[in-house]
Amino acid sequence: MATIRDVARMAKVSISTVSVALKDGTQVTPKTLKRITDAAEAVDYRPDPIAQSLKAGRSRLIGVVVGSLQNPWFGDLMAGIEETALQNQHLVTLSETRMDLARERATIDALCSQRVGGIIISPHLPTPEHVEYLSGLKTPLVVIDHKIDGLQVDFVGIDNQLAMSMLTSHLLRLGHRRIGHIAGLNGLWTAEQRKRGFRDTLSASGIEPDETLIVDGRYSGEVAYDQTMRLLTRADRPTAIVAANNLMALGALQAINDLSFRCPDDISLASVDSVPWGSVIYPQLTVVVQPIAEMAHAATAFLMDRINAPASLQILPRERIFVPKFITGRSCAPPSS
Amino acid sequence: MATIRDVARMAKVSISTVSVALKDGTQVTPKTLKRITDAAEAVDYRPDPIAQSLKAGRSRLIGVVVGSLQNPWFGDLMAGIEETALQNQHLVTLSETRMDLARERATIDALCSQRVGGIIISPHLPTPEHVEYLSGLKTPLVVIDHKIDGLQVDFVGIDNQLAMSMLTSHLLRLGHRRIGHIAGLNGLWTAEQRKRGFRDTLSASGIEPDETLIVDGRYSGEVAYDQTMRLLTRADRPTAIVAANNLMALGALQAINDLSFRCPDDISLASVDSVPWGSVIYPQLTVVVQPIAEMAHAATAFLMDRINAPASLQILPRERIFVPKFITGRSCAPPSS
DNA sequence: CTGAAAGCGCTAACAG
DNA sequence: CTGTTAGCGCTTTCAG
């Protein structure tokens, strides 16, 4: 592997001239520049990123931290992040926290001591100490999906209230009055926002939300299955169910099937987030989807801004909220009775 | 961030003593060692990995290169790799090649010039030049899934012939005699091995494989859909179909549904690789699954062996072939006629 | 416009 | 057993 010295020797200049010339061609005579670029070409010189990192104190790496790799939109997220990172000459590392705060913290620690340029995280429900820890980080941080109150960093997500409103009002228009909601993990920002969207939409239509119809599915398919079982075996069972995410929708669908209800004839079902290969799932689900690829790009762009910004310049926390997209499936119908 | 100098100053020894002591406690007096570890603790010293990398010429990073992040087992793969890598103090980077040889090469180039410790790759169908390129790499390489003939590197995969034999003989036992096979991308090792397993199993049962029933689905759901349409609209259509992977099985299932055939009543379907949330797909597919997590561990262990081995020691290429697991679903039944 | 020199944080001979 | 020294490859003042 050729070093800057080889280039300097071949172009008969000093190594610092090579460094300067290759960085910003404007500080050298055109002819020396040419000699240098030719020499660099000839020996296939590529600056050693490690040496550059040592000098800069940061590596050209961005860390992505997610709770679970099972998350179905996770592949699209990574693809989007990688694409944008690549354009900025950065590699992307990936870590899984298994939704464990201690692991989340250890992971971020590791990333920071590896001197990554920045971190994109879809965080778990934090404790106050954890928020404080995150606030104290020197490494640029962008939060995606679950916003953390009180944390002054860039955020990218969707309008979760709107997402639930879209689904809930769809069901209301179909004539449903008793609608169940399988909510996400209690306390998580997205879960709370979605619950609020659900309640507000009902209230706005003059329907008092029945709190017993709002159950915690903890963003888990299994828990959602159990909760759906509870909902549907009640005498006053709902005629429709809205799940706060895709995994829970699948769990709910399974429960519906296992109880020999038919969807949408007996029970309507809708959810946030599409499911992969949704086309072979019967019935195709009515959903609102997050524009994951765009969110990934936006998050990465935020991060690159901070990485490329001069240390002097303080960028205020920014926020990018996307509007989800409604996709009509065949899982919603007017109530049967 | 504390440096080795801070520790040295505080422990009143030289920096090299600190370096030696922290690496291998046996070369220093117990009391100096204690002074040093205490000092390191006190200032929360953690060696800068970038500086270590510069010295070593490699970073504590392993690169994972896959064709597509859509691949459903990809999350499990990453989780497994990350777990093992973490135990060896390595971070994992992720890159997608979109099944494009030029991108695959560019990606590997980038990884190598980043001086990653090693690379785990699920490669695309290579040209001879590409094989040569891979052979020439100095960076340790482990291939997973698609073996490349003539490439002398560690390999981890499953017994693909066996996988297809398991499915094919299951269908034969049910009484099927005309079985279609939606094969993977022509030329890819896994695809060829699976085809061979299919043909051999039929032959062994005294059935001459009908080559027109073996179609190229290119490991794509869409292509598989089209090919299934072709197969099922023939007068002499098969009574069962085996898909070479999960995405193609879903494409085939969709085609079966769209043509108003019922599975398994009219057409039986089986495939290699399970599908996520398979439990809500109707009917549940009969499949053989790869032990992805174990494969990931094995591949990472191979890689770490090479990374940790002294440069002098030449490790011969190794191979780890797993046996897939049969999972009975409800998508296979005796032929109707 | 170009070159000499210092140094990022660490490791590894080589001396004492 | 411990300290001195010389870099790893690069960037960046600071002189010339």
- Of the two residues B310 and B217, the one the predictor is more confident about is B217
Q: Lowest-confidence range among A263-277, B23-37, B112-126?
A: B23-37
Tokens of A315: 């960028």
Put simply, the chain B residues between 85 and 144 with a CB less than 8 A from any chain A CB are 91-96, 110-111, 113-115
CA quadruple B241, B245, B246, B248: dihedral sign? negative
Closest-CA residue in chain A for B253? A280
Q: Is the CB of B27 under 7 A from strand C?
A: no
Q: Distance between CA atoms of B88 and B82, rounded to whole angstroms?
A: 10
Which of A120, A280, A132, A194 lies closest to B248, judged by CA? A280
Tell me, what's the pLDDT at B78? 95
Q: What pLDDT digit, counting tens, does each position of B36-92 carry?
A: 888 888 888 888 999 999 988 899 999 999 998 887 788 899 999 999 999 999 999
What number of other Cβ atoms are within 10 A of residue B244's Cβ? 32
Cβ(A195)–Cβ(A181) below 8 Å: yes
Tokens of A299: 């998050």
CA dihedral A139, A144, A150, A154 (to 10 degrees): 60
- Cβ separation of B91 and A111 shorter than 8 Å? yes
Tell me, what's the pLDDT at A176? 97
Q: What pLDDT digit, counting tens, does each position of B270-309 carry?
A: 999 877 677 777 888 999 999 999 999 999 999 999 998 8
Strands B325-327 and B286-289: antiparallel
Cβ(A188)–Cβ(A245) below 8 Å: no
What number of other Cβ atoms are within 10 A of residue B103's Cβ? 17
Distance A24 CA to D15 C1' (A): 21
Partner A contacted by B49 (CB < 8 A): yes
Q: What pLDDT digit, counting tens, does each position of A180-198 carry?
A: 999 999 999 999 999 999 9
The one-letter amino acid at A186: N
Q: Distance between CA atoms of B255 and B249, rounded to whole angstroms?
A: 10
**Nearest nucleotide, C1' to the C-alpha of B29?**
D1
Q: Is B184 left (phi over 0), alpha (psi -120 to 50) or beta?
A: beta
What positions of strand C are covered by protein, i.e. any atom < 7 Å from a CB?
1-5, 7-13
Tell me, what's the pLDDT at B211? 97
Tell me, what's the pLDDT at A218? 95
Q: What pLDDT digit, counting tens, does each position of B215-240 carry?
A: 999 999 999 999 999 999 999 999 99
The one-letter amino acid at A223: V
Q: Lowest-confidence range among A14-18, A87-91, B166-170, B256-260?
A: A14-18
DSSP-derived letter for residue A72 is: T
Distances from the Cα of B214 to the Cα of A66, B68, B199, B208, B270, angstroms = 41, 25, 9, 12, 14
Whether the per-residue pLDDT at A314 is higher than 90: the answer is no
pLDDT category of residue A43 using cuts at 50, 70 and 90: confident
Q: What pLDDT digit, counting tens, does each position of A107-165 carry?
A: 999 999 889 999 999 999 999 999 999 999 999 999 999 999 999 999 999 999 999 99
Q: Distance between CA atoms of B85 and A135, rounded to whole angstroms?
A: 28
The one-letter amino acid at B88: N
pLDDT category of residue B9 using cuts at 50, 70 and 90: confident
Closest-CA residue in chain B for A69? B75
What number of other Cβ atoms are within 10 A of residue A23's Cβ? 10
- Of the two residues B14 and A266, the one the predictor is more confident about is A266
CA quadruple B299, B301, B306, B307: dihedral sign? positive
- Of the two residues B1 and A84, the one the predictor is more confident about is A84
CA quadruple A69, A70, A74, A75: dihedral sign? positive
Q: Give the mean pLDDT of A12-31.
A: 82
Whether the per-residue pLDDT at B141 is higher than 70: the answer is yes
Q: How long a stretch of residues is chain B?
A: 337
Which of B280, B227, B282, B236 lies closest to B255, judged by CA? B227
Q: Which residues contact B28 (CB under 8 A, 6 or more apart)?
A: B17, B20, B21, B36
Q: Give the mean pLDDT of B165-176.
A: 98
Q: Give the mean pLDDT of A253-264.
A: 93
Q: Which residue places its CA closest to the C1' of nucleotide D7?
A: B55
- Cβ separation of A91 and B114 shorter than 8 Å? yes
Partner B contacted by A76 (CB < 8 A): yes
Q: Distance between CA atoms of A183 and B330, rounded to whole angstroms?
A: 32
Q: Give the mean pLDDT of A280-303.
A: 93
pLDDT category of residue B337 using cuts at 50, 70 and 90: low
Nearest to B50 among A54, A94, A281 (CB): A54
In this prediction the pTM is 0.93
**Nearest nucleotide, C1' to the C-alpha of B54?**
D8
CA angle A69, A75, A80 (to 5 degrees): 130
- Of the two residues A90 and B336, the one the predictor is more confident about is A90
Distances from the Cα of A149 to the Cα of A118, A135, A143, A155, B231, angstroms = 20, 11, 11, 11, 56
- Gyration radius from chain B CA atoms: 26
CA quadruple B128, B129, B130, B132: dihedral sign? positive
Whether the per-residue pLDDT at A37 is higher than 90: the answer is no
Instruction: Establish whether the linkage from the previous residue to A264 is cis, with ω within 30° of 0.
Output: yes
Tokens of A218: 């903890």
From chain A, pick out residues whose CB is under 8 angstroms from the CB of B61. 61, 91, 93
Q: Give the mean pLDDT of A248-255.
A: 93
Partner B contacted by A27 (CB < 8 A): no
Partner A contacted by B230 (CB < 8 A): no
Tokens of A114: 């590896």
Q: Distance between CA atoms of B196 and B177, rounded to whole angstroms?
A: 17
Percent of chain A with pLDDT over 90: 72
Tell me, what's the pLDDT at B35? 86
Whether the per-residue pLDDT at B1 is higher than 80: the answer is no
Cβ(B166)–Cβ(B324) below 8 Å: yes
Q: Distance between CA atoms of A136 and A125, rounded to whole angstroms?
A: 18
Q: Which residues contact B128 (CB under 8 A, 6 or more apart)?
A: none
Q: What pLDDT digit, counting tens, does each position of A186-232 carry?
A: 999 999 999 999 999 999 999 999 999 999 999 999 999 999 999 99
Nearest to A93 among B46, B93, B254 (CB): B93
- Compute CA A176 distance to the chain's CA centroid, rounded to the nearest angstrom: 32
Tell me, what's the pLDDT at A31? 82
Tell me, what's the pLDDT at A274? 79
Partner A contacted by B46 (CB < 8 A): yes
CA angle A274, A276, A282 (to 5 degrees): 80
The one-letter amino acid at A54: L
Residues β-bridged to residue A327: A287
Q: Distance between CA atoms of B305 and A257, rounded to whole angstroms?
A: 49
